Amino acid sequence: MKPDFIILAAGKGQRMLGNQPKVLHEVGGIPMAQRLLNTIHEIKNSKTIVVIGDQSQKVKNKLKVSKKTAWVKQKNQLGTAHAVKTALSQTRPGSIVVVLYGDVPLVQSKTLNKLLKLASNKSLAAITFKAENPRGYGRIIRSSRNQVEAIIEEKDASKAQRNIQEVNSGMLALHSSVLKKLLPVIKNKNAAGEYYLTDVVGLARKSGISIKPLLLENPSEALGANTPEELQELERACQRQQALRLVGAGIQVADINRIDVRGSLSAGKGSFIDVNNVFEGSVVLGKEVKVGPNCFIKDSVIEDRVTLKANTVIEDSRVGKGCILGPFTRVRGGTTLESSSELGNFVEANRSKVGRSSKAKHLTYLGDATLGEQVNVGAGTITCNYDGIKKHKTKMADNVFIGSNTSLVAPVSLGEGSYTGAGSVITKSVPKESLAIGRARQSPPIKRKKKK
């Protein structure tokens, strides 16, 4: 089987009230058309033809495509049938053509595979769904034997036909040779004066081609967006779809309506995700990871059995097995935490490496720091890494103990087993197994004079 996917992405999207093409509006952190491209990539031996029009260069620059992608420009917006006809020259001989829409991004690969199977014997396969409010959709007209006879656009539908709840998604599949014969026959004698792709259904039936509808179990796969309000609905449907995918993979989600995945998220079995978490970019969670409420994770890898307490922020970093972070911890800038390390409340690590079983539990800033194994950093410690011009590194070897409220003025190194007194300002490197104290001596106590 050779599936050729035509994505119609030439619309201006004026009702979206923005300056960018409609298909570039993001759903779940990914442009709508990109979501479709990613889904098509899952289907074997597929080729993609993207029909572009308004701001075509901006669309091409934004979307990431495979080598098996062709671009076709539709200069005049004359309807969906005209758009498909524009792309036909790029289809392969003997292929099955699947028509998709750049603003309908939630269709799943398993649905598309079912559609391809229905169209494999030169039948016309069309995706339909039932809508409580079918306004704006073409209605599916069935015969007394429940066979699909035609698709009537709402502008051309009678009052009785407008009451039909089964509607057309616009997505269909047909053998390329058949499609090439039927498209030139389509006329634009309708209320909009456009060439409707839906007319191909009636023409196919007259030609003796069987029509096989694929009624969606989950209508959200056919949701599109023409207005900002519809984009909001599409976003919620996308988030719910992604949350249910996680649940189906063995991840416990506290509330599928209170999770936002703005990119891609994979998680291992036995993991738990509490409410109001946001995952952005590419995020990987290992097995048995526990993510507390109100966390933000971006472009990071969280390995097995990590515990993230409430309000933890992780960006562009890697957290090793068995680590404990939070509450109110921030990790960023390519930081790496080795296994069983801990960063506690109001601790920030930036461009740093925290060794195995090392800890900074309270009110600490680690910038451009390297910690060995089993280092203990006391509360209120900061690495003074910036001199106003350059940033400098702080190195702590294994088993270093940093007293509370210590300022480590970089560049500085602390040898294995060394330790600092609380309240110290350390400006010089400390040898191994040594104590460093850098603070003013406490003056002798002075007794207060009693008032007469």
Q: Which residues are catalytic?
A: 362
CB 8 within 8 A of CB 101: yes
End-to-end alpha carbon distance in the chain: 104
Place of tokens 């995706």: 127
Which residues lie closer than 8 Å to 322 by C-beta, 6 or more apart?
304, 305, 306, 339, 340
Taking the CA of residue 277 as centre, how many other CA atoms within 13 Å lie in the half-sphere pointing to its CB?
26
Q: How far is CA 10 from CA 19, 58, 62, 213, 429, in A?
A: 14, 12, 14, 26, 64
Question: What is the spatial distance between Cα 107 and Cα 169, in angstroms, rounded to a whole number?
Answer: 10
**Residue 450 CA to its chain's centroid (Å):** 70
**Residue 313 CA to its chain's centroid (Å):** 17
Phi, psi of 344, deg, nearest 5: -100, -150
b/e sequence 60-80, b meaning 16+ C-beta within 10 Å: eeebebeeebbbbebeeeebb
Question: What is the spatial distance between Cα 222 and Cα 105, in angstroms, rounded to a whole number?
Answer: 8
Place of tokens 């079918």: 134
CB 182 within 8 A of CB 211: no
CB 321 within 8 A of CB 305: yes
